[in-house]
Structure 1
């Protein structure tokens, strides 16, 4: 099984939901991939006060994602600020071409920067099956916590949507490869470029294979990159070098 993946790296307008949705649509219009991945809070920018821009699950952002997926026959995933049952979530949305939506709520909120103030942290890992591959959905700061992303033979690729600032650029690049190597899995990391009121972003969106090799790299400009994930190649490597069998057992609380 093979899955073609496209990463959309762009500079988003601050709290400009209509403008950002239109821009994302233009950028990914020419993608040939079966799965398109967007950055963290792609429709608003990394807003720490969700009360200003949060939407319900039937709001503009989710509606746009469902319409796009249904119209193009591609799956679409990215993070958005969602208001649900009186609480606010940094929610990764995975939308299938049927319009079905699977959600993952960011587990590790960036409390250092204030994200932990009004947002509610998620409690469950979420793996979705699509295009013959099993995909673990994670968001930005989750990248720093390897236990949460440890592969227990339950996924083939990790998908990270992020708003990762330039000041920690090398951390981003290093940890993406570390997660790929230690879990013997593909890693997809999509970041934004540009500036917002608190940070500058240099992109470095990348697709890394199970040996830590770069399959596609977006650099520091607005662009769409693509690469193919090959599950058979991954399984051959895991069979030949089954380091995962020697991993320490643990239980997540």
Structure 2
């Protein structure tokens, strides 16, 4: 078990609907990470940008991007995390994949499809919340619009880290900032949000604001607005134990069941 978890936050522009070029550019960014790293987190739909044309970019779980992710994870000896468009059983999913160096893959299908953009019309929503364990850390992966729904994220699994990958536009970035901090505080877990920068194929602008927060809502990183950058952040599991035992807030959480 690692008391310390080292995470690389990849805040980057994306080439519109071009998986091959995005893989090529991200390969350089991942290879350039010289520090020891346990997790590398990429934005939502990192092969294409937030497209409503899934047939143009969709892959299978045996496709080129999954093969690439396995290679990157093995070479870097780190978990690589991000979402992409997956075609399966005649449906399209905005699927977050968490690929370990061993080749083990944990997947999460985005539960809250973004109705404002019509995502619900072309992508099938997920129905299961997922956690996975790596080096003694329990991690909960979620995607973009999920951030607005705190009940879905509620820490009933005693996870240590919640990760959001996103294409969250600049015009609503204030909500992104506020909600990431809130998810950390209310769940007494580290919270990391990784957003893209630049313009997409619909001329929507993204300003990044990727961030990491500790269990008290303190920001841990120094990522600048609009920067195309890889930022390292170190998480300390002992701090989670310390504050959960001292404050006991999770002991007072409400019991509930979800209807999907």
Instruction: Please indicate the TM-score interval, normalised by the length of the shorter structure.
Output: over 0.9
Q: Give the Cα separation in 1 of the matches to 2:55 and 2:222.
A: 35
Q: Which runs of 5+ in 2 are unaligned?
A: none
- SS of 1:147's equivalent in the other structure is helix
1:224 to 210, 226, 230: 230
Q: In structure 1, what is the equivalent of residue 193 of structure 2?
A: 189
Most deviating of 146-155 and 73-82:
146-155
Q: Give the Cα separation in 1 of the matches to 2:219 and 2:88.
A: 37
Find out whether 1:4 has 2:9 as its counterpart: no
Point out 4+ residue stretches in structure 1 off by more than 6 angstroms. none
Most deviating of 224-233 and 86-95:
224-233
Q: Give the Cα separation in 1 of the matches to 2:223 and 2:95.
A: 24
Q: Give the Cα separation in 2 of the matches to 1:139 and 1:217.
A: 22
Most deviating of 75-84 and 151-160:
151-160
Q: Give the Cα separation in 2 of the matches to 1:175 and 1:153.
A: 20
C-alpha deviation, 1:62, in angstroms = 0.8
Q: Give the Cα separation in 2 of the matches to 1:56 and 1:135.
A: 24
Q: In structure 2, what is the equivalent of residue 239 of structure 1?
A: 245
- SS of 2:125's equivalent in the other structure is coil
Counterpart contact for 1:13–1:44, Cα < 8 Å: yes
C-alpha deviation, 1:85, in angstroms = 1.2
Find out whether 1:43 has 2:43 as its counterpart: no
Q: In structure 1, what is the equivalent of residue 16 of structure 2?
A: 14
Q: 1:32-79 CA distances to partner (integer Å, 9 max, x unpaired)? A: 311100000001111112111100111111111011111221110000
Most deviating of 90-99 and 69-78:
69-78
Q: In structure 2, what is the equivalent of residue 206 of structure 1?
A: 211
C-alpha deviation, 1:131, in angstroms = 2.1
Q: Give the Cα separation in 2 of the matches to 1:22 and 1:30.
A: 13
Q: 1:97-152 CA distances to partner (integer Å, 9 max, x unpaired)? A: 01111100000000111101110000000001112211101000000000000012
- SS of 2:108's equivalent in the other structure is strand
Find out whether 1:117 has 2:89 as its counterpart: no
Q: In structure 2, what is the equivalent of residue 126 of structure 1?
A: 130
Residues matched between the structures, number:
253
Most deviating of 133-142 and 216-225:
216-225
Q: In structure 1, what is the equivalent of residue 176 of structure 2?
A: 172
Q: Give the Cα separation in 2 of the matches to 1:5 and 1:103.
A: 19
- SS of 1:168's equivalent in the other structure is helix
Counterpart contact for 1:127–1:135, Cα < 8 Å: yes
- SS of 1:252's equivalent in the other structure is coil
Instruction: Give me the TM-score of the superposition, normalised by structure 1.
Output: 0.98
Q: Which runs of 5+ in 1 are unaligned?
A: none
Q: 1:157-189 CA distances to partner (integer Å, 9 max, x unpaired)? A: 101110000000110000000000111110010
